[in-house]
Amino acid sequence: MNDAGGPLQVDGEVFSVKRVGDYVHMTLVAAGIAERWRPGNFVALSVGGDTSAALLRRAFSIYRARPSGIYGGTVEIVFAAVGPGTSWLAERRPHDRLNVVGPLGRPFALPKEPVACVLVGGGYGSAPLFGLAERLRERHCGVHMVLGAATESRLFGALEAKRSAQSVTVTTVDGSVGIPGLVTDPLPALIARSSVEVVYACGPMPMLAAVTAVANEHGAWSQTAVEESMACGIGVCMTCVLPVTGDDGVTRMVRSCVDGPVFAGDKVRWDAVGTVPAGTYGAAATGGPV
Amino acid sequence: MSTAGARRENGAAVAPDEVDLTTVLADARLTNPVMTASGCAAAGQELHQFFDVAELGAVVTKSIMRDPRAGRPTPRMVETPSGMLNSIGLQGPGIDSFLARDLPWLLRHDARPIVSIAGSTLGEYAELARRVGNTPGVAAVEVNISCPNVENRGLVFACDPQQAARVLSVVRRDTPRGVPVFAKLSPDVTSIVDIATAVVEAGADGVVLVNTLLGLHIDLETLRPELAGVTGGLSGPAVRPVAVRAVWQVAKALPTVPVIGVGGIRTGRDALEFMLAGASAVQVGTAIFNDPSAPLRVLRELRVELAARGFGKAVEAVGYSHRLPPDPRREV
């Protein structure tokens, strides 16, 4: 069974819940997950208790994870309380029980050489980038961060970014802080100026598509953590699929939970997300009478 | 059908560990009555990270089709009260890949595979039955004639007794003797008993009740149906009473036909309810999305629930509620 370092299912406990701007920062005591975590992994939490009418797990990128200390291993997540499930989570208090499955998904791939990297986060999508920054620094990579949001209260980690990165650029759509506009506005100059070879990004899908386009134009690799709605998070339900082109040039509908959530940006068929584009593996069979 | 087992007098509880969970479904003898539901466990590998799939009575695979299939566009899923709608469209690798990789994995891990097959035509069903049925180690074939996520929703085989019977007739004909064939039926019919009768007469060794119910959800932001496929299959605890009703009706009408119950099972109590209504085995589906350990947990809880009611053998609980004398306080 699970001795190969795969995900665990842990009866966890809420350690703390804090408001951070428009978001919620939750720390969970969940033994064993930190030891297996790599940046880009996520956890799937059940919501509403054992008899909940909301059956589907909510998936959250891991912000930080610390192996066993005084309180046992902890996992931290950052989320927006937007629906009934996340609102319920936001109302949890220390010592409440939460069932945690993780770490799940493929993490960010790390460069073998000490190259310059830029980490782009949209909203709370910046959360997994801090652990990534640490791993990159350990490899002597240059780390730059671009954090963007609609408005200041929806930025996450702008202060922490200053400790994590050589340079931090902030953008807000309403101009409440930083450069008015989108994360992709300062990105081309930054890539050129710092000879960036890898662009990492986490945030809304349109942002990921735009960041990938900028990276492609500048000949940089891109690693994007996608956000697709999931039911199980562990690879069995087939709801979180998106069209991704493999090394063999064939597009397949792949599961973002186990084949992602991190994909090479240039492999994702961004313009076709939400469709099964013509030529997709198995698409012919879908069109026929059944 | 098992003989009527008397519930032990005076509530003399059996120790949970002593309960004999063995169940028999036509020619298939299973160590216990708990399985995964098709489409909720892929082909077992993912769940094996959370529990040993060999501990289940059987692993029912996601429906296998002849050809690789991309499925439907997204969104494919909507959460609904105590359930969900899905519109996956039978995405899968096709039979070649399944037989080359997935089935050997299940056998290597000592699981008892029940292979769900789905075809577009009678010929495809026949081909799948031959290829799956002739693979050693397959515990049974489950025939999905009721997936609502097909291109022509008006032609779900399971909604028409004659169409359903034709499929089961070719599958039974082309599956080796000794490998039971079960028909998975849709609850979206006027008379589930008529459909069950038709497939059994056509050769089905048992029925699996029920597949998802066809449903629809409109997004109040876009004012459009949320699923890309417009309609989807409703599953989860929300459908459980419908499934229990279907099991009850079929078990009553066809008492010698093995019934496998599925629909909204989340706990051992739920599983017991299906067995009392007439199910010889049960499948855990959507609950897996909530709790990846659900099938094994349900098995553990079922053992306790059976023991607490004095059932020393799981088969004694099968159809038990049908055998009780009428409640004198109620008009029948």
* Per-residue pLDDT tens over the stretch A108-123: 999 999 999 999 999 9
Q: Report the chain B residue with the minimal C-alpha distance to residue A53.
A: B82
Q: Report the chain B residue with the minimal C-alpha distance to residue A242.
A: B74
Kindly provide the b/e burial profile for residues A66-100, where b requires at least 16 CB atoms within 10 angstroms of the residue's own CB: beeeeebbbbbbbbbbeeebbebbbebeeeeebbb
Mean pLDDT of the residues in chain A:
94
Instruction: Check residue B7 and give its pLDDT.
Output: 56
Catalytic residue among B59, B147, B156, B171: B147
Any A CB within 8 A of B153 CB: no
pTM value > 0.90: yes
Instruction: Check residue A170 and give its pLDDT.
Output: 97
Sign (positive or negative) of CA dihedral A99, A234, A17, A49? negative
Alpha helices in B73-121 (DSSP H): 95-97, 103-108
Is B159 considered catalytic here? Answer: no
Instruction: Check residue A4 and give its pLDDT.
Output: 60
**Least Cα separation, residue A77 to chain B (angstroms):** 19
Any B CB within 8 A of A269 CB: no
Instruction: Check residue B329 and give its pLDDT.
Output: 81
Residue B98 is classified by DSSP as: I
Q: What ipTM describes this predicted complex?
A: 0.94
Query: Can you tell me the distance from the alpha carbon of A98 to that of A90, in angstroms, rounded to the nearest whole number?
Result: 12
Residue B267 is classified by DSSP as: S
With a cut of 50, say whether residue A290 has pLDDT above it. Answer: no
Instruction: Check residue A288 and give its pLDDT.
Output: 39
SS3 A139: coil
Cβ distance B123 to B72 under 8 Å?
A: no
Any A CB within 8 A of B151 CB: yes
User: What residues in A contact B41, CB-CB < 8 Å?
Assistant: 236
* Per-residue pLDDT tens over the stretch A125-141: 999 999 999 999 999 99
Nearest to B34 by CA among B241, B210, B233, B265: B265
Quote the Cα angle for A274-A278-A284, to 5°: 110
Any B CB within 8 A of A2 CB: yes
With a cut of 90, say whether residue A228 has pLDDT above it. Answer: no
What does pLDDT average to in each consecutive run of 10 residues of chain B (332 residues)?
44 85 94 97 96 98 95 95 95 96 98 96 95 96 78 68 94 96 96 97 98 96 96 97 98 98 98 98 98 98 96 97 87 58
Residue A201, strand partner residues? A120, A224
Instruction: Check residue A50 and give its pLDDT.
Output: 87
Nearest to A116 by CA among A142, A95, A98: A142
* Per-residue pLDDT tens over the stretch A153-184: 999 999 999 999 999 999 999 999 999 999 99
